Amino acid sequence: MAGGTLAENTKWMRVIFIGNRHAVVPLIRALVRENVWADAARIRRGIEVTRWPVDANLTAYLWNFDDEIIANGIYRFFLRPHCVYVWVIDAATANTSLSPKPEDWLEYASGLEADTPILLVGNEWDQATRADMHRRLCEVYPIIHHFDFCPLSSQHDSRFIPELAGFRETLTARLCELDKTQPPLSQGQLAVIEAMHHTVHQDAFLARDAFTELCNQQGIGGREREAFLEQLDRLGKVIYLPDLYRLHDFGYYLLNPRWLVQGVRHVFSLNALRYQRERGLLSWDGLREVIGDREIIDEKGNTLRYPNEKLGFLLGAMEMFRLCYPFADARESKWLVPGLLPNDQPEASSFERNTLRLDFRFQVFVPRDVLNRFIVEHYADIYRQRVWRRGVHLRGETWGTDALVWVDHQEKMLSLEVVGPHVDPYFSALYSSILKIMDKMSESKCERLLHLHQDVSVQDDSMRQDARTDFDDVLMQRAAGHPEYICKFGHYEFHKLLHSMPASLRGSSDKSSSDQESKADCSLLMAFIGIVLAGASFLTGVFDPDTSFPLWGEKTIKISMIVALAAAILIWKPVSCYVRLKYRTKPRQKSL
């Protein structure tokens, strides 16, 4: 809000920068024509908002976040539609495993409307490497093809002045395009924003009744007030989460976004303070003990208070933006917080060869929800606290069998690997759990690849160690009755290839089909008997209308039975062949 008289019909837009702050801050300073290297040694923590007057009627607010906010996913609180996004990559340190977490940001970007402006900026991008770097990024993350690409450098030398001007021109053009869809702010709305700006220094929240009163004073009511709230949320002036407010019957609007940032930062500090034995867990009592009723001064000098009655809003926001996941069946309220988990995989969490391994290879990226929700569901099976941000080691005590489930974001892969004396039931349970989680996600399209071990090949030729084949193809060939599985890697005996496959999957081609065929045979037999009896009764009435229902020894019924039996025999063979063919050619692998 700082600076200047507010003119009626002013339009405000928000630009959100994603990337390493040491690359983002110089870029923003160059964009608004400030000294790029002023105070370069001190990069502030938290959220920074820079005001940029684009023209006389349009002002952009440039948001950027410190590296901790980006790395821990806290920035998700502030991503909204109808904003311009600038994703900044520092080419001096960038590679195909970009930091921080490109899959996290790209997952959000893929859910935006198709016309949402997204600019990809290659900072410190020299002429020799820009094309190759951009090509490799597009190979790893194909969605980047749809972004505006702006290679440049924050150095003001003669080579990159045109590139910086080009970036400013592209960003201005995208803002002006978005500006056409946004309503201007009236003088009354600007007066409400001014009043809220003075309030935020004393309290991070504004009571709903107080906001309503401010709006009423300016003649803003009903649907107009609701639309105004949504506009304030897009601009970052209010954190407006109506579903969360209704769920918790919360009577306040959050004005200071730093209240969320500082609160989550304290939650992440729990790992070092209290929860070494229960990695990644956050309890309600633990949260109140660490942050409840505390006061924190943010980087702008504002006082942030955390009374116990507002902690539910903090946890609800974390849950809504997938920074934590609730345990549905816990005796006390507990949440899994992935940000509390260690980054590195424990050394002991690896298996030898000849395990049953299945890979889920996704088209664009692995949705982060899959692994996090899986960990919550199977938390009781975690073996010796071997859980980290990208994987978990489980042991099913019932079967004495171990499993590894992990994510490789660069390969866009989720892997399930099981080993032990009772692979069948444990693999089946974990596999079904993953499918159940993915069924709820629209972005979960993937292919399933079964690893082929060299010792199950019927050929003597050497086989690639990393050979994988389509899991559905294996099931389909087995269902078709082939004695061997044949693919480009060779021939494999099914009883070896599927020796550790769960019975529910292995039997989908045998037991399921045979059971259904048996049921079909019984149904046909009953239909056969019914046809004979019904036909006999009908023909008896035709031959001798005066006969009630005759005894079996009478001549009329004997003739009727013979005719009905002959008719049933004639139709039996084609009908039975049709039914059997139906069950054999339509195995149930699609339900797996």
- CB of 403 within 8 A of CB of 355? no
pLDDT tens figures, 446-497? 899 988 876 666 665 555 566 888 888 887 887 887 878 778 777 777 766 6
DSSP 231-258: HHHHHTSSB--HHHHHHHT--EEE--TH
Q: Residue 285 — pLDDT band, cuts 50, 70, 90? A: confident
Answer yes or no: is pLDDT of 83 > 60: yes
| Chain-centre distance for alpha carbon 131 | 30
Answer yes or no: is pLDDT of 305 > 60: yes
Pairing, β 334-336 against β 356-362: unpaired
Check if 187-254 and 258-340 are the same fold: yes
31's tokens = 């964009």
Q: What confidence score (pLDDT) does residue 354 get?
A: 67
When mean pLDDT is compared across 237-241, 296-300, 416-420, 565-569, the lowest value belongs to 565-569
Classified by CATH at the fold level, domain 187-254 comes out as Arc Repressor Mutant, subunit A (1.10.10)
**Domain layout of the chain by residue ranges:** 11-179, 187-254, 258-340, 356-505, 511-591
pLDDT tens figures, 147-184? 787 777 655 455 556 778 888 999 999 999 888 888 88
Residue 164's alpha-carbon distances to 26, 55, 523, 585, in angstroms, are 12, 18, 77, 62
Q: Residue 271 — pLDDT band, cuts 50, 70, 90? A: low
Q: Residue 580 — pLDDT band, cuts 50, 70, 90? A: very low
Q: Residue written as tokens 């866009």?
A: 412
Per-residue b/e over 187-216, b at no fewer than 16 CB within 10 Å? Answer: ebbbbbbeebeebbeebbbbeeebbeebbe
Structural class in CATH, domain 11-179: alpha beta
Answer yes or no: is pLDDT of 587 > 90: no
DSSP 16-57: EEES-HHHHHHHHHHHTT--TTTTTT-PPPSEEEEEEEEETT
Q: What is the mean pLDDT of the chain?
A: 76
d(CA 309, CA 282): 17
Ramachandran sector of residue 155 (left: φ over 0; alpha: ψ -120 to 50; beta: rest):
beta
Determine the 3-state secondary structure of 393 from DSSP: strand
63 or 468, which is more confident: 63
521's tokens = 């045979």
- Architecture per CATH, domain 356-505, reads as 2-Layer Sandwich (3.30)
When mean pLDDT is compared across 131-135, 251-255, 547-551, the lowest value belongs to 547-551
Classified by CATH at the fold level, domain 258-340 comes out as Arc Repressor Mutant, subunit A (1.10.10)
